[in-house]
């Protein structure tokens, strides 16, 4: 369903397949790309207030349909003012369809042409998720960008299983498109196909023929590794319309981000910044550091001298280590905030480099520094 509330434009770089900077306009504001999407699985980015998210540089957040349909229920979210009301976030929101989470329940799910049947991880009740109900749930949640229901095959996986995943992904995308009813939401298709070039190409072609307003590349965060990820993006991105945004789902490792931006990807999401933050692992330009390490016990320096986040402005590495060692909630909050700011700064540098025509000159030194101890 087309809407004039959404608009994509390439502002700099190679619109077809190379690194590009753009702007995606939604009913709740514009997103400068390439951009990172913090993950707020249950309608909250753990430990971080909405105002702080904005101050850290977040432009858009993600919420998870699977978790919200089970608790508190999509009707409850709708009655509370939709995700924007529940999250107290006035910017753009994206929801995934829930398919990825269902497919992680390998011993609890059944797949048919009709859709998915699974057992809730909360109470064991049987739940059905079809293309139509996935769209209806996301319509009720009220995100700006919603995703078609797809099948994400594991890695490694027999070719026949990947072929079947592509067949159902394409069939379900068409049904999602027919079920979508809200012009203030943009429904995007998801390209699957594992690490099979011909299946990626055929899936992309079928989805492009449906004329979605945006496209995601799925199934590249299931253990296939950096080289496979690069190849999948290289096969897929050039076959998606240059006039529409491209989204790589579940990817946040810096080398993966830089490689995908180089190949024309605009949007990324990943749980790593906050998950690592809750486990005392902090991103820095010189690599990931683990603040529980004893060497930080009396370290009076900030996590990263170049960073201006609340953790780096007000607290030492030693103090933050103490918070973790004693179970104080401030430790995970501070490192999560720092990590989110690290990703916002990283993407800001990538955007700036594309605008200035020096992306390739920036990318390799940045990665060499980050992975210098690998």
In the chain, domain spans: 7-270, 271-374
CATH topology of domain 7-270: TIM Barrel (3.20.20)
Contacts of 192 (CB under 8 A, 6+ apart): 150, 151, 152, 153, 162, 165, 166, 169, 199, 200, 203, 218, 219
> Is the per-residue pLDDT at 102 higher than 80?
no
8 A C-beta contact, residue 257 and residue 346 = yes
Q: Among the options 107, 211, 269, 368, which is catalytic?
A: 269
113 is catalytic: no
> Is the per-residue pLDDT at 285 higher than 70?
yes
pLDDT digits (tens, 9 = 90+) for 37-51: 999 999 999 999 999
107 is catalytic: no
Q: Which pLDDT score, from 0 to 100, does residue 26 have?
A: 98
> Is the per-residue pLDDT at 2 higher than 80?
no
How far apart, in whole angstroms, are the C-alpha atoms of residue 63 and residue 163?
A: 29
Q: What is the mean pLDDT of residues 213-228?
A: 94
Q: What is the mean pLDDT of residues 312-340?
A: 98
Q: Which pLDDT score, from 0 to 100, does residue 348 have?
A: 98
Q: Among the options 96, 150, 256, 266, which is catalytic?
A: 96
How far apart, in whole angstroms, are the C-alpha atoms of residue 19 and residue 353?
A: 10
Considering the chain, what is the average pLDDT of its residues?
A: 95
Per-position b or e across 113-129, b if 16+ CB within 10 A of its CB: eebbbbeeeeeeeebeb
Q: What is the mean pLDDT of residues 333-352?
A: 98
């Amino acid at each position: 369903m087309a809407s004039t509330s959404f608009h994509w434009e390439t502002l700099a770089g190679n619109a077809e397949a190379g690194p590009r900077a753009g702007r995606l306009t939604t009913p709740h504001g514009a997103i400068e790309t390439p951009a990172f999407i913090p993950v707020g699985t249950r309608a909250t980015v753990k430990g971080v207030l909405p105002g702080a998210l904005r101050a850290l540089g977040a432009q858009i957040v993600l919420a998870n349909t699977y978790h919200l349909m089970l608790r508190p229920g999509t009707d409850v979210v709708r009655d509370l003012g939709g995700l924007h009301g529940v999250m107290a976030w006035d910017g753009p929101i994206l929801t995934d369809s829930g398919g990825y989470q269902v497919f992680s329940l390998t011993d609890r799910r059944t797949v048919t042409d009709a859709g998915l049947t699974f057992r809730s991880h909360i109470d064991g009740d049987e739940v059905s998720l079809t293309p139509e109900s996935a769209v209806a749930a996301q319509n009720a949640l009220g995100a700006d960008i919603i995703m078609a229901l797809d099948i994400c095959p594991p890695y490694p996986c027999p070719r026949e299983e990947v072929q079947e995943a592509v067949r159902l992904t394409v069939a379900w995308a068409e049904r999602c498109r027919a079920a979508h009813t809200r012009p203030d939401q943009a429904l995007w298709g998801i390209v699957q196909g594992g690490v099979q070039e011909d299946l990626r190409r055929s899936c992309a072609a079928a989805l492009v023929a449906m004329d979605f307003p945006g496209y995601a590349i799925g199934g590249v965060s299931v253990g296939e590794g950096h080289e496979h990820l690069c190849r999948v993006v290289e096969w897929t991105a050039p076959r998606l319309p240059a006039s529409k945004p491209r989204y790589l789902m579940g990817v946040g490792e810096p080398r993966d981000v830089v490689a995908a931006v180089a190949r024309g990807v605009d949007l990324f999401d990943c749980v790593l910044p906050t998950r690592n933050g809750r486990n005392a692992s902090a991103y820095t330009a010189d690599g990931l550091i683990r603040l529980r390490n004893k060497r930080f016990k009396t370290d009076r320096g900030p996590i990263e001298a170049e960073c201006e986040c609340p953790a780096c402005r007000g607290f030492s590495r030693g103090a933050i280590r103490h918070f973790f060692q004693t179970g104080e909630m401030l430790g995970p909050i501070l490192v999560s905030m720092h990590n989110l700011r690290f990703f916002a700064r990283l993407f800001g540098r990538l955007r700036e480099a594309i605008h200035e025509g020096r992306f390739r000159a920036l990318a390799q030194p940045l990665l060499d520094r980050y992975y210098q101890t690998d």
